[in-house]
Structures are given as structure tokens and as C-alpha cells.
Chains A and B, each alone.
Chain A
Amino acid sequence: MNIIGISAFYHESTCCLVRDGRLVAGAPEERFTRVKFDRRAPINAFRFCLEAGGHLSPADIDAVAYYESPKKKLERQLSMGLGPSVDPSFAWLDTLAPEREIREKLGYEGPILSFEHHQSHAASAFYYSGFGEAAVLTVDGVGEWATTTYGVGRGAELRLLDEVRFPHSLGLLYSAITDLLGFAVLSDEYKVMGLAPYGKPRFAETLRTIARPGPRGQFTLDMACFDFAQPGRMYTDTLVERLGVAPRAPKGELLQVHMDLARSLQVVLEELLLAKTRYLYELAPSEHLCLAGGVALNCVANRRVHTEGPYKHIFVQPAASDSGSALGAAALAHVQLTGRRPSEGRIPHVNLGPSYDADRIAATLAEANIAALDFRGREAELLEAVVDRLDRQQVIGWFHGRMELGPRALGARSIIADPRDPTMRDRLNALIKKREGFRPFAPAILEEQAPAHIDIHYPSRFMTETCQVRSPLDLPAITHVDGSARPQTVSPETAPRFARLIAAFYARTGCPLVVNTSFNVAGEPIVNTPEDAIRCMANSQIDCLVLEDFIIDKPLISAFLRRTVAAGDRALRDRVEAQVDPRLSGDVERWRPAEGALPKGVYTFV
């Protein structure tokens, strides 16, 4: 039985394929279109899933599982009083659009099963956790009405027992403060989390009066401080007044007050999340907790839940935000259609995307006239050569196997570096990732060596929790200002080549970990294809690219290629800018882009 799971049309559209209960493929649309957080119909991701399933046609799909209920969502939107200022075309009124797009853009003709937003989140955590039974907590901005749900799973059964409803939302609270701090909503919340350790929680008391815990897992936001229906701003002047913090302009200077507010928010979030887990434990006592929803990407909070909450073992869905809901919806459909649980074991890895074989890469390199070192059939030598470069403090673009699903690069599309280099963090932020200097980097550490270096004694393969660094080594590149890190423990079973690489680095240097950050630059989705990787390398200060069995050192990429790539990217940017040029939209009176569409609208030829 082939089931396609889809989350789409709001944020980071994603498709996955569950075949006979096994998750065999999954990818977000952005990786194909190269439009960050692409929300359009996941046309390319759908086709990829069908190809990965063995050249399937749409007729081979037994059901499409959609991750939320448009009708119930409309109820909430109507109650919010969304007006023309939010969307002059009132496109959100069209609850038939998701089904229509699935049929008309993906070409799918069979049954479509819709599940509620938080049910999909819950399923994405429980059914892939490997727990036979577990309590399930989902927390995000908002789905239909729910912002938090409390559930329990046992075998194939998953029940939601209670919920917190809109507008009282931890996710929206976090987003609103993210907004006030001048970062992008639905994108940069993790930056606020990274900023928090630099601050003091001096606004926590005020925030506790704005987000108040209530009985039975409830909590309330003081809605005088928020307006979720106004365009472009989630908070009101009252919030500004209560906090006494002026809104920071995007890309404005980061002051101590901003760091303090970030820290305060993080503290309050963690308190509320802990209170929720305790309430859930009353409802669903268990040793196991499953977490999903956008807030479950807050790995600092996850750590507190794990160490201070009532549950012994937790599983956080690696793609905890809406992207992962596609997995949950597909699992729910499988249960509905077969009565059986989709998978018994824990999801071993999230390498569910495309891969590219070495011979084909060789042909591309030849056509591009890129001189590369060819290590086909000589993996040990390849790894030694990579270690040579890491040891020389080079930054490596590491491209191997199937692309990861979810926001984290876990050794398939990663940028890796030596964590011992005291200059590495600043270098990576400034020259490679082209992002804010305060942001930390994560380590990928050999699983069996982890306890000697970090205070985590169980596998944490998806970077879903932070911990303290306890290493005898000095690891400035991966140690945050508060001594924490967000590790990926690397097992030879699930990431064999990546594990062998780190082992080789360990053997050479005595350091069993590397810096591991996603293979992209700011504003760009993680690379998907070898060409994306070459382009990213040419556009940044990455010293060396490892494309499967090939090593490309930066000097081997010609200056012309670097210029060409830069020019190509400039042309792309120009084109995108031209498309949203207000002159053009102003030209077309009353013209609006088709709903659901990202930059488009030049209704013209030359």
C-alpha cells in the first residue's frame, strides 16, 4: 500500500511516501525549487517520492493524507476577523484549494484523507518513536484551533485527550517576541533561542504576567499584548509598553536588552513547557514522551523537559514543525486503512531525500571541467584525505547519500570543520554561512565517545536536545556561551560513512567530533544536488567539497566558475526582485498574484 503524506500551502510544503507502513521517501519542496520555505504545491517533492518508490505513477498511490482540516481552520480564521489588509484577495476563504491543488498540480486522482493538524503532529512523533506506548505532547503556533495537545499512543492507537486552544499559544508567544526582536517569524525563532544564553532573564516576571499558566494544562496569553490578525506585526503597543523594550529593526544592532528579552522568553517557555509535561503525565503516566510541533524544535527546552520532566525517555520528531506533519498524516492514513501501526521501530535516520551516484557526478565534473580527486573504490583514502584537510582547519562541504528530511543536516548535506579551532565559529558564521555572529554550531560526535565529552548518555541522533560540554578537550567552535551544545551522536549503523569519517578524525587528532552545520548559506535551502553544492561552495569560503567519492579543493574551482556562479546568482536575484517590483504590480491595477504563488506576476514579455 502506497500512501503519500502532504503538508503544504502554509509553510515549507513537504511530501513523503509510506509504503506498506515503511517510510521510504520524503523531502520538502524548497530543496528542489531553491525557494526557502516554499509553500506552493509540492510538485517536485511528490514526483520525487513516486520515483523513489520505484517509478510509481499517481495511479499507484492508494491514498493521499493531508495534514490538516481546511474547514476547521477556516472556522478559526473567521473568528479572528481576518480582513482585506491581511489578504486582499481573501484567498484563505477557499478551503477547497488544497484538494484542488493536489488533484490539479500533482495529478493525483484517488482518495484524499484529511487529519487534524495536531493529530498529524502527534502521529509524526508517536508512530516513528519506536515506543509501544507513550504520552504525546504537541506544541506549535496554531493548527485549526488547537495550539497544544495532550495525547496518548498505544500500539496502533493514538488519542488526543486534551488541548489548549487559540489564541493561547506558546508558539505564537515565541513568534511574537521573535517579531519584536526584529527576526523573521516562522523562520528565525531558533535565532532567538541561540541568543538567549547571552542574556539575563530580567523580563521573565513581566512575561509570566503576559503568559500565565492555568489549571489542567491550560495557559492564557494576555491578548491586550497580541494581535494575530494584523498584517506584519504580531504584537501590540501594549506589549512594547509592558516590556519597555522598543521593537528592534530587522538587521538592527543587537543590544543587551534584546539578549535579555530572548533569555526571559526562553525561561518562561521552558517553565510553561515543563508544566505542560507534568499535566500530561497526570493524564498519561508513562516512561515515554513523544514531542512534535514547531516548539519541539526548541532543543534547549527539550533538554529541560528530558532532565526535569516526569518522563524517562523522550522522542522528538526530527522534522518537528509542519514539514514533519506529512509523515504523521501518512501514518494516520496507514492506520485508518489497515488497522495496523505503520512502523514498529524508531525511525533510524531521516535520509529520505534524493541521492546521486558517483559515476554521474564524475560525468558532471568532467563537463564542468572541474578538477577533482577521484577516490572511487578507495573510501579509506578518501576519509584520510578529508581528515588531512580538517586537521589543516579547512571547512569542508560534505555531500553523501540521501538528503536529510527536516531542518538539520546530519551528515548527508553538512558543512563540517574542526571544533578545536578557536577562530572557527566566527569564520563559519561570517564567511561560510554569512549569518549573525552570535549563533552557535553543533557537534557531530561518535556515539560511543559521547559520554566522555558531553553530558548525554543516550543516542541523540537528530540534534533535538542540547547538553553541556564536559570534554577534556577545548572545543570552542561547538561550545555555546553557556557551555552548551546541540549534539548529533553518530552511529555506524545509521550513518556509516559519516561515522567512519569522524572515527578517522578521532584517530588522527584524539577529537571524536566535528562541527556539523547545514550545507547552505543564509537565506538558502540546504543543498540537494551536486550542482547546488558546487554553487554553494563557489559562493562561500568553503575550502573543500566532498561530493560522494570526489574531493574538490577550492583552488581547483576556477575563478571563472566562481564568477559565473556569482553572476548567475545575481541574475536570479535580479529576476526575483523584478518579479516583485512594485512598479509592475502598481502597473496592473487591482492585480494580485494567484494565491499560493511565490514570486511571480510579470504578466508581460519583454
Chain B
Amino acid sequence: MNTKELAEFLASEEGLAVARALLGATAEPAGAPVAARPGPQPILEWRPVEGEDGLTFERPDAARCKPRRIGPKAPGALRVCLIGESMAAGFPLAPAYTPALVLEELLRQALGPAVEVIDLAMPNMGPTEQLRVCEAARQLRPDVFVLMTGNNWYYGLTIEPTASPEARRRYALRLAEGGPRSLVAEHRRQLLARAAVMVKHLVAAAHDVGARAVLTIPAVNHAWERRSPPPWLGGGGAAAWSRGYEAARRALAAGALEEAVHAAAQVEDTPLTGAPQRVRARALLASGDPAAAAEAAMAALDGTNWQNITFALPQTPAAVAALMRDGAEAGGYEAVELREILAEAIGGPYLDGRVFYDHCHLNVEGVRVAMSAVAAQIASPRLPEPLGWRALHPLAPSPTPLVAASASFQAAHWASQFFPALAQDDLGALLRAQVREALDADDALQPVLRAFIRLRSPLTSPGLHAALPQASRVPGVSAALVSRRLNAPLLGAILDVLRERGDAEVEDDLTALVQGYERALDDGIDLAHPRHQPQLWERTPLAWDDPNDRQGAPFYRALWPDSTFSLVCGASRDLSVALTARAPSPGEVTLLVNGAPVGALALGPGWRTWRGVLPQGTLRRGLNEVRLLWPALAVDEDEALRLAQRRLSLGVDADLLPVFGEVYSLRVTAQAGA
């Protein structure tokens, strides 16, 4: 076969599939971690410096939680290295207030001043980096390694559809063997294998320098709701799942708790999405059984993170936590199980916003409790009598009110940015609570919240807006302020809370925002642009493309039977609307404004455009909800699954999730007939 014939063959699907299979067969196995070079090694940002003091480590700048220089250990001092992910790094309280700072203070209270806690935690740190940091940290000759890790261990497992073509092909093979459930099982198998390796190597690094290894097993916020749709299951399984799930949700909404528990249990889910388990957890909690609710919430974790799409979240599933806990004796390490400690602290097993900001990050009280437990664990062998965490807890420092306020606001932004449609049934309530918490902590947040409103302008990017300078002086809030998204859920929550607190000036901010939108409406606004989608991450693969950009989300795809978009306007005139959409199966999409139907478009597989009017009478000054109700899915699931599998076998990414419809544009304009 000459190159022309070969190219001809490879340019077909069959040819590409053959090529992928051959390349997969010859692919080199995953390599071992790169061996460290001889000599002193850097530790995160700290570079080794050999001087008169011996080996020291220096970083280019100092941070509140991280010294510029780490010198040799003082004689007789206790040196602790704290290694971990974002939870250990203290997001979103860092850098002013971190677990390492709290731990150091508590240990000094318990053991005296000769204590040093070196903060080697870093947000986003994955397993390989954790191993590297741990190995490099041996150079510091610590007495104790606190390993506050586990949430990110799922990073880079080879069972991913959105990684390399070869990984996709393997995913396809697994899919062909046993359907989506076998992917979940494989993910779980790989994660447990990864966890075993991590525990072994992290602990070995500590033992290598004669240090104690204190493994802090992360806890999970049981109240952090996820709502993941099912993948294609074949044989009508996804449709049955949806029916069962909706039945469970309806029952829960109606207060029929027993029925909700039963209906959720009937959904053929476990382990798949975890969403029905979430309904079950809420129903059990409402029934007064927090222990069963917590177990249901943990069971939901087993069905997550395998698709590597938006629903993946850093959390430690129960099986991984058990592996960490059960291996302590044989592994010669000490385990501090945060779930138990936090449950003790709040007086019940169902962990929630009392100790967490979000899915895994501890709030101030969570940090205080957790680090009291870790400090007690470290200090006890050095004291005549063992300490309990409760003894140290009152001594744990608190952050300044401004830091606490900033963290609550960041948490609200975080929640609104990533998980609107997926996270909470009533996201608004969660966000309002977090905004209130921020203001309660320090009313210096008020100008930040007001600036947030003005900075949503469609005319000017926040980085150039005059409202930014003063507001951004509050530490930690910049990311929220400079986001280009309208972010209707958080905007609505801020408006609600400021109004309920009688802030009259908030109306000025809203007026400024409305005026900006009215000006932009003269040219037209595409509500389907990522900036205006409240359900932003619904369809964005979990790659860090700019979510405000079309490159991150070329067009809107609906994973649920209804979709909502946000519109700000003055409600002073009729607006024209042009919806260009398509659906996999013929049917009618209905468009509603603030609950009132304003039109319908017959849809099919090709793009169609409907032009109509949003009557002034249906509009409100300020935020409006534009909602689409999609036609019911009438798709052959087996065929859809086969197509997805075929694409993956070619090394191409594929949708495993049903899509009810897609929106190319939803253009609203003040111009008549546009």
C-alpha cells in the first residue's frame, strides 16, 4: 500500500479506528515518576540555597502564610510540614488565615513556642506533585508530616473521555464491555489503586526521615447538592432514570418524604450519577434521620467524577476514606478522620454549611475544629496526658472580620460560578445565606457587593470599570468582581439581601446596570452567550478554557428538559427576540418570560429561527428569566450509545449525556423586527 492508498484508507472512519487501535497496542505504558536529580531539590516555590547556615530554602516573595526563607531547624524545635490541596491551603480564607497558621498557634499553645509549621499546601495540587513535595520536604528534616490530602487524587486517572485520543479509545473499549456502569466501576477501581499508592508513598517519605505521618482524612459537605443527568444507558434506561428521578423530586417537593426515599431508591442509578441519592439524602434528613442522610450523601459520591465533565469535584469518596483509615495500623501512620471530628463538633453526622463553605473547603469553624484535632494528635505524645480536640478548640485563632466576610463572598461566587444548575435545588437560598454571612461578618463588604452590581455592565469589562478600584481593595474579592459573567444567581442574591437590609442606594446601582443593558439592547444581546448563561458549566468540559468565551462553550446545549437565561432590562418597551435552535427529535420548544409563554418554535435536527416579541407587560425592571421548555426526547438510546462509543474509539470526544436541544443564539434587541 503506497502513501496515497494509505491516506485514502486512514481518511475514513474505519481507517482511523484501525490506526487508533494499532497506536493503542503499541503505546508505551505509563512511566514511573521522574527520578529526582541528585543534590538539593526545590520545594514548591522555595529554591535551595547552600550558605553559611547550611541548606536553606528561599522563595521570591513572602506571603502571609509562607515565609520567604526556611532556615535550618532550630535545636529542640518541633518542625511540622503540612502538605495538601486547596482544603489544606485554606481556600478561600488564605492567605490571611490558613490551617497551617492555626495549627502552629495551637501547637504553640500546647507545647510552647518552639514550634514551626511549614505550609506546603497548594490549591490544585495533584497526586504526582504531592509526592514530589513530600519527598522534597524531607530536606527540611521535619518531625511530623501532616498529610491533609485525598480530594484531588482522582486527577489524571486514565479513565477519561476528554483526555488523549488513546485514553478515549480505552474509554470506548470499557464502554463496549459493560456500558456506562462499567466506566464507573473502572474509575472506582483506578481511584482506589491510586489511593493505595499515594498513602504508601506519602507515608514512606515521612518515615524515611524518621518523622511521624499524620494523615488527615478529608470530610465531605453532605449538604452540597449535585444534580447530574444520566448518560445514555441503552434500552430506554436513561428515560426511565429521568422519570424515576423526577418522581422522587416531586415527592420530596410535596413533602412526601417516605415516598421520595422509596422513589429515589428505585432509580437504577447506583453507582452512576449520585443524583437520586442526593434526593434520598434530603428526604432522610427531612425525616429526622441525619445519619442515614449522611450515608446516602456519601453514597452519591461513588457516582461522580467518572465522566470528567463539569460534575467532577474534588472530594474524597467513602471508599478512599476507609482505605486511609483502615490502613493506619499496618502502615504505621496516624489517621485523623475529619468526618468524625466535625460531626462531633456540630452534634450530628450530617455535615453542612456549619463547617463548610462548599463541597470540601472548610469554613472558619471547620478549620478551627479540624486543626484542633490535628494539633491534639501531634501534641499528645509529647504531653503527660493526651489532649482532646475540645481542649484546644477554644484556643484556635479566628480570622479578622474582613477576611471572614471576604471568604463568605468568595464562597458565594464560587458556588454561583460553577454549580448553578447542578448544585442546589434552591441556589438562591444558598447564595443569599452566604451573602448575609459576609455582611454579618463585616459590613465593609457592602461596597464590594454594590460594585459587583455595577460591574455586570455589558458595555465595559470589569477590569476597566470605574467601580472596580475601591471595591477590589478588599482582599480576595477580585476574582468575583472581574468576572465578565452577568451571573444572575449571585446578582439576584445580592440585590435581595441589600434590599432586605434597607440599602436604598442599591437602586442606584441597579439603575446604572439597567441603563447599560438598555444601551446594549439597542445593538442586541445574545442571551445564549456564555456571559449570560446562568447554567454556565452545564456543558463545558472540565478543561480550563475561558468559560466566558465561545471557545469554551461554542453554543448552548440543554441537558435538562428546561433551560433558563437571564436578561436585564428596564421593562420600558417591547423587545424583539430571535431564537435559533435545534433539537435531536421533532417537537416544539416553548419560550417563557418570567413564567409567561411568549412563543413556540417547531424544532427538528436542523437550526430554525423563530422571531417574536417579548411584550413589555411580561418584563420586569432588573433581572428577568427567559426560559425554554424543550420537547421530550425521542431518541434511540442504544444507537446514541453506539455512536458515542464509535467516536471514542476513533479518539474523538463524545457526548454520553442526552441533549434535549441546542441554542445557537437567543438574540434580544430593542430594534423592531430584528
Contacts and interface: CB of A to CB of B under 8 A. Distances in A.
Interface in A340-385: 360, 363-364, 367-370
Interface stretch (B136-144, B289-297, B465-473, B485-493): B465-473
A93 to B, nearest CB: 5
A587 B129 contact: yes
30 contacts: A47-B550, A59-B606, A71-B7, A88-B164, A95-B11, A96-B11, A105-B554, A109-B606, A367-B467, A368-B460, A369-B466, A370-B464, A535-B463, A568-B463, A579-B544, A587-B126, A587-B127, A587-B156, A588-B156, A590-B166, A591-B156, A592-B163, A594-B162, A595-B165, A601-B544, A602-B544, A603-B160, A604-B314, A605-B86, A605-B124
A130 to B, nearest CB: 34
Interface string B1-17: 00110111011010010
A339 B461 CA distance: 47
Interface stretch (B71-79, B280-288, B646-654): B646-654
Contacts of B652: 94, 97, 100
Contact of A43 (B160, B550, B609): B550
B3 A75 contact: yes
Contacts of B461: 531
A106 B524 CA distance: 20
A400 interface: no
A603 to B, nearest CB: 6
Contacts of B457: 367
Interface string A393-413: 000000000000000000000
A606 B91 contact: yes
Nearest to B651: A94
A605 B418 contact: yes
A44 B166 contact: no
User: Dominant SS at the B interface?
Assistant: loop
B650 A363 contact: no
B559 interface: no
A586 interface: yes
A60 to B, nearest CB: 9
Contacts of A603: 155-156, 160, 163, 308, 312, 542-543
B368 interface: no
Interface in A552-600: 560-561, 564-565, 568, 575, 578-579, 583-584, 586-595, 597, 600
User: Dominant SS at the A interface?
Assistant: helix
A367 B459 CA distance: 8
A91 B463 CA distance: 37
A107 interface: yes
A587 B155 CA distance: 8
Given A367-B467, A587-B127, A600-B544, 19 more contacts: A41-B554, A55-B524, A59-B606, A71-B8, A107-B607, A109-B606, A368-B465, A531-B460, A560-B469, A568-B463, A583-B128, A587-B126, A589-B31, A589-B128, A590-B30, A597-B545, A602-B124, A603-B542, A604-B152
A139 to B, nearest CB: 24
Contacts of B23: 90
Nearest to A43: B550
A368 B464 contact: yes
Contact of A55 (B129, B545, B674): B674
A78 to B, nearest CB: 5
Interface of B: 3-4, 6-8, 10-11, 13, 16, 19, 23, 27, 30-31, 34, 86, 91, 123-124, 126-129, 132, 152, 155-156, 158, 160, 162-167, 308, 312-314, 361, 418, 454, 457, 459-461, 463-469, 472, 482, 516, 519, 523-524, 542-545, 549-551, 554-555, 578, 580, 606-609, 650-653, 662, 664-665, 667, 674
Given A40-B551, A57-B609, A59-B609, A360 B459 contact: yes
Interface string A133-146: 00000000000000
B519 A360 contact: yes
A603 B127 CA distance: 13
Contacts of B468: 564
A44 B550 contact: yes
Contacts of B27: 590
A606 B123 contact: yes
B10 A95 contact: yes
A600 B482 contact: no
Given A75-B4, A94-B652, A602 B543 contact: yes
A285 interface: no
A70 interface: yes
Contact of B607 (A59, A97, A370, A564): A59
Contacts of A88: 164
A105 to B, nearest CB: 5
B553 to A, nearest CB: 9
A316 to B, nearest CB: 32
A360 B459 CA distance: 8
A107 to B, nearest CB: 5
A160 interface: no
B306 to A, nearest CB: 13
Nearest to B162: A594
Nearest to A368: B464
A606 B167 CA distance: 24
Nearest to A93: B19
A363 B11 contact: no
A89 interface: yes
Interface centre among B4, B11, B418 (most CB of A within 10 A): B11
A597 B308 CA distance: 17
Contacts of B13: 96
A545 to B, nearest CB: 13
B521 to A, nearest CB: 12
Interface centre among A40, A109, A594, A604 (most CB of B within 10 A): A604
Given A40-B551, A363-B519, A591 B163 contact: yes
B667 to A, nearest CB: 7
Contact of B469 (A43, A564, A589, A606): A564
Interface string A146-188: 0000000000000000000000000000000000000000000
A95 B418 CA distance: 35
Nearest to B32: A589
A72 interface: yes
Nearest to A585: B156
Nearest to B463: A568
A229 interface: no
B163 A565 contact: no
B16 A93 contact: yes
Given A75-B7, A604-B314, A363 B516 contact: yes
A40 B550 CA distance: 11
A459 to B, nearest CB: 35
A568 B482 contact: yes
A44 B607 contact: no
B31 A55 contact: no
Contact of B608 (A59, A90, A568): A59
A16 interface: no
A55 B418 contact: no
Contacts of A605: 86, 124, 312-314, 418
Given A367-B457, A588-B156, A600-B544, A94 B650 contact: yes
Contacts of B549: 33, 44
Nearest to B359: A605
A588 B3 contact: no
B1 to A, nearest CB: 10
A72 B10 CA distance: 11
A173 B80 CA distance: 59
Contact of A78 (B6, B454, B542): B6
A83 to B, nearest CB: 11
Contact of B459 (A55, A364, A560): A364
Contact of B158 (A91, A579, A589): A589
